[in-house]
Structure 1
Amino acid sequence: MAYLAHTGTFDVENYGDLLFPLLLAKRLPGYEVRPVSPCGGNPVWSDCVSSAPLEGLLGSKCRGIIVGGGNIIHPNPSSLARYRKCGADIRGYADLWIGAALAAGKDVPVLWNACGVPRPIGTEFAEIAREALLRTDYLSVRDELSRKYLQNICPDLEIAVVPDSAWDLPSLWTADELDSTFAALTGGTPGDCGRHVAIHLNRRYTKDVGDIALGAIIDGLCDALDARPILVAIGPCHEDDVFARAITPYLSREPIILDRPQSLRQVCAAISRSDFYVGSSMHGYITAAAFGVPAVVVARKMIKFSGAVHRAGAPETLVRSWKKVPGAVRRIDRDALSATFLQSQKAASAELTAHWSAIASQIDRGSQMEATLWDPSALHAYRARFQDICTRQKTAGKLPTRKRIGQGLKGLFGVKY
């Protein structure tokens, strides 16, 4: 069977990123897919995929390279401990799209799957990024601002704006599978599990409210909805699990704590079978919306969140603080919002059908023979060049140290965001 290489962050505990290989396999069933991630490794959860680092597939043959999705189109270092340990923290993200394109064999199509661009590409990296973009055969991003950021460095690019592929989630598992998984999580029976509100917490978005006040807000939400809270650690790699456990003593209603998810299906069931979702995960929000579950997302007005709520047809569901959640929930007509979400999912699914057809056409348009995936000398040349840029940046004082990265320093590579 012909195979495709698929790049992304499939080697860390983060629900949204881990979904992409399953969604791709559902849409392109005629291909074997080999996931490629900065470190690689065994499946993170039971229904996830194993992955290999980029150099693990050197010299192999393939029919195409799929990049993403995810918020991965940037050249910046990662603060994740896993990437530091395997030495991929500096170039890990760049490898997924710059390295993947510049080292690709000449007959291998490079195709993007609705990626996100979190901030403008720094001028120091503009040239190498531009070369990678021009080498890519099909560019697609998930929001207009991502397209604008790329066209800032390459104005003539043709870039499609398509929905995040997580809008396809209702096709990934059957209703019975999700019902059974939710029943096992809640201790109920399929279709009769009581009322629940799925809650995702991330410390980055609760800095203006203490744990006691946050607990009171969650209690008030559960009282208003007459629902038991499910604390869902959507991104344990960001210590969501630690926060979920830490907030529990401040809650009046005993929560169900999904701090160490066992599977993607378990997380999807926790959200899609709840009566409401509130949290700071874009893919948690998309999961709720795709299944018609009323939702509010709590986050700064970052690109990915703004793009998600507009795609859902409900910009009013984005609030910047947990302090705003009670008012937002009171104002929501839950039945009307559910209907809006389901209509948006139907439209997104139709757009995704066209998107995947475009990708399949690019694969079929290329050589019918498998070609060399990544050329070792080209990969070496790219990495040497990228390292040289980083070294010059560090010498100039613009490249943050690992410690400062871990503290959430803004302005990486001189770019404010």
Structure 2
Amino acid sequence: MSDKTWQVAIFGTFDVANYGDLLFPLIAEAELRRRLGAVRLHAFSYHPRTAPQWPYDVTSVSELPQLIGTLDGVLIGGGFIIRFDKMVAPGYYPPTPQIHHPTGYWLTPALLALQHNVPLIWNAPGMHCNKVPSWAVPLVKLTLELSPHVQVRDTPSQTALSALSDQASVEVLPDTAFGLHNLIDLQQPSPEYRQLCEQAGLNGAYLVVHAITGLESFLQLWKTHSALFAQWQLLLLPIGPVLGDHESILGEDLPRAVSLPTWPEPLLLAEILGHAQGVIGHSYHLAITALSLGVPIFSSANLDQGKYTALQDYQGIYPLHAVREIEPQWFLERLVRRTPCPRLIEAREQLHRHWDRVAQLIAQGRRPTRQALDQFCQTLPGLLEETHQDWRQECLDKQTELDELRMQFERLKQQQQQQAQLMEQTCGELERMYRSSSFRITAPLRFLRRHVNHLLGR
């Protein structure tokens, strides 16, 4: 182990109040220090944050050009950050318009690392079924092919990125939050945990419920069968305040419900989940924390879609439907803490090898990637021109589709006009018939016919 203080950067959305995102720098720093000794981890995001108002210091990506040359390694992720849509979170945008959104906190840092020969490592980020636009394909392909260690957190992400390159080796790695057991000692509750429980009035066993909508079936179970759950309190816990989580969403008529005086820092929140008898909610990292610490998780997420497919093989996760009534005995039978299942043991071993490899790559020093990036820059004008032509053709195709829709609209409009004219003509003929002398003269006969039919029971 070297006496050097290693300078390592990790990139993601660590500047927002979302539990899962805030975990990654803490886990990475702890794992790398076990292997490398002194490590200074620089968490980079759009906006700066400072402790103690924030769990740790966060550096703005606007400062990266001045700092990239001092780094010994760059980690991208984890979390859902390999994306190109603009709506990352409400009001979340780069510090300056010159930084592209949203690739400014993951793709641009990756390219800068390659330009400065800094080892580039994909630390299990995810895509969650989004796609790479044509303009970004060459850039993402380059970063994949020049990265010595590309790990993503689920199969959909692997499939999407592997399709961009035949050379890059993209592998699936369990989310690094499955390593939380290395950071939290449930046998020795921390003083901060004891103090928070006292402040919140948590004085015994409890369940945690995620403070979001969509958990009506559980809330109804808790209220309807309150006596069955008399031994537990219910802790209302926001997981992602930046996404709108709040205790008030769950209502004010929940028996034995308590909430925390403040939103806890990430590892304290994980400890709270680890001491729960059960957890109910939707969050991905809520589920991972519960699974990694042996707590049963009742998840309202669709486990057959996107990133959640990575959780299917773990024991202790139970699907929870939003409106379907929950059978009380079914729920109670599953409120049992679990020892690590085979899939969890395997995940921990995978993560151990991952961090060994990350530490090894950082210790090996700089990699010769700058020349490859220089060569790529030579091809960049041509790529931009091709991309422009692709977009031009795509625009032409869209214009053709639009023209066809307009033609269909005109045809429908003509049909509507013809029907209106026919309706007007029919109404006119009926009106003339009603006003005619013959119609008025035969009116008594029609009345007599209706009366006779009525008498005959017709």
TM-score, L = length of structure 1: 0.77
Matched, 1:304 2:307: yes
Q: Which runs of 5+ in 2 are unaligned?
A: 397-458
Could you say which residue in structure 1 is the equivalent of 2:249? 246
Could you say which residue in structure 1 is the equivalent of 2:180? 169
Could you say which residue in structure 2 is the equivalent of 1:35? 43
Amino acid corresponding to residue 42 of structure 1 in structure 2: T
Could you say which residue in structure 2 is the equivalent of 1:201? 211
Could you say which residue in structure 2 is the equivalent of 1:400? none
Could you say which residue in structure 1 is the equivalent of 2:74? 65
What displacement does 1:85 show?
7.4
Could you say which residue in structure 2 is the equivalent of 1:409? none
Report the 3-state secondary structure (helix = DSSP H, G, I; strand = E; otherwise coil) of the residue aligned with 1:352: helix
- Kindly name which structure, 1 or 2, has the bigger radius of gyration based on alpha carbons: 2
Out of 50, 56, 61, the position equivalent to 1:48 is 56
Out of 117, 120, 137, the position equivalent to 1:110 is 120
Matched, 1:23 2:27: yes
Matched, 1:144 2:155: yes
**Alpha-carbon distance in 1 for matches of 2:328, 2:155:** 26
What displacement does 1:115 show?
1.4
Matched, 1:97 2:109: no
What displacement does 1:224 show?
4.0
What displacement does 1:235 show?
0.3
Pair 1:55–1:245, CA change in 2 (3 A): same
**Alpha-carbon distance in 1 for matches of 2:180, 2:365:** 29
Deviations for 1:93-131, whole angstroms, at most 9, x for unmatched residues? 312332122222342110011111211423423233222
Q: Please say which of residues 360-369 and 6-15 is displaced more in the overlay.
A: 360-369
Deviations for 1:150-169, whole angstroms, at most 9, x for unmatched residues? 11222442122121111111
What pairs up with 1:278-297 in 2 under 5 angstroms?
A: 278-297=280-299
What pairs up with 1:381-400 in 2 under 5 angstroms?
A: none
For the Cα contact (< 8 Å) 1:296–1:329, is it kept in 2? Answer: no
Could you say which residue in structure 2 is the equivalent of 1:403? none
For the Cα contact (< 8 Å) 2:280–2:297, is it kept in 1? Answer: yes
**Alpha-carbon distance in 2 for matches of 1:335, 1:248:** 24
Amino acid corresponding to residue 56 of structure 2 in structure 1: C
Pair 1:346–1:277, CA change in 2 (3 A): same
What displacement does 1:299 show?
1.3
For the Cα contact (< 8 Å) 2:14–2:43, is it kept in 1? Answer: yes
For the Cα contact (< 8 Å) 2:211–2:250, is it kept in 1? Answer: no
Q: Which has the higher contact order (CA 8 A, sep 6+)?
A: 1
For the Cα contact (< 8 Å) 1:9–1:38, is it kept in 2? Answer: yes
Out of 252, 255, 258, the position equivalent to 2:257 is 255
What displacement does 1:334 show?
3.2
**Alpha-carbon distance in 2 for matches of 1:351, 1:360:** 14
Out of 7, 12, 21, the position equivalent to 1:8 is 12
**Alpha-carbon distance in 2 for matches of 1:305, 1:352:** 18
**Alpha-carbon distance in 2 for matches of 1:222, 1:170:** 32
Pair 1:354–1:11, CA change in 2 (3 A): same
For the Cα contact (< 8 Å) 2:145–2:167, is it kept in 1? Answer: no
Amino acid corresponding to residue 210 of structure 2 in structure 1: H
TM-score, L = length of structure 2: 0.70
**Alpha-carbon distance in 2 for matches of 1:345, 1:236:** 28
**Alpha-carbon distance in 2 for matches of 1:253, 1:232:** 15
Deviations for 1:19-56, whole angstroms, at most 9, x for unmatched residues? 11110011101321111112232248653342322544
What displacement does 1:197 show?
0.6
Pair 1:50–1:291, CA change in 2 (3 A): same
C-alpha RMSD of matched pairs (Å): 3.8
For the Cα contact (< 8 Å) 2:48–2:57, is it kept in 1? Answer: no
Amino acid corresponding to residue 265 of structure 1 in structure 2: L
Pair 1:265–1:223, CA change in 2 (3 A): farther
What displacement does 1:177 show?
5.8
For the Cα contact (< 8 Å) 2:119–2:367, is it kept in 1? Answer: no
**Alpha-carbon distance in 1 for matches of 2:20, 2:52:** 13
Could you say which residue in structure 1 is the equivalent of 2:197? 186
For the Cα contact (< 8 Å) 1:139–1:160, is it kept in 2? Answer: yes
For the Cα contact (< 8 Å) 1:296–1:328, is it kept in 2? Answer: no
**Alpha-carbon distance in 2 for matches of 1:223, 1:146:** 45
Q: Which runs of 5+ in 1 are unaligned?
A: 398-417
Pair 1:11–1:62, CA change in 2 (3 A): same
Q: Please say which of residues 255-264 and 287-296 is displaced more in the overlay.
A: 255-264
Could you say which residue in structure 1 is the equivalent of 2:443? none
Identity %: 21
How many matched pairs?
Answer: 373
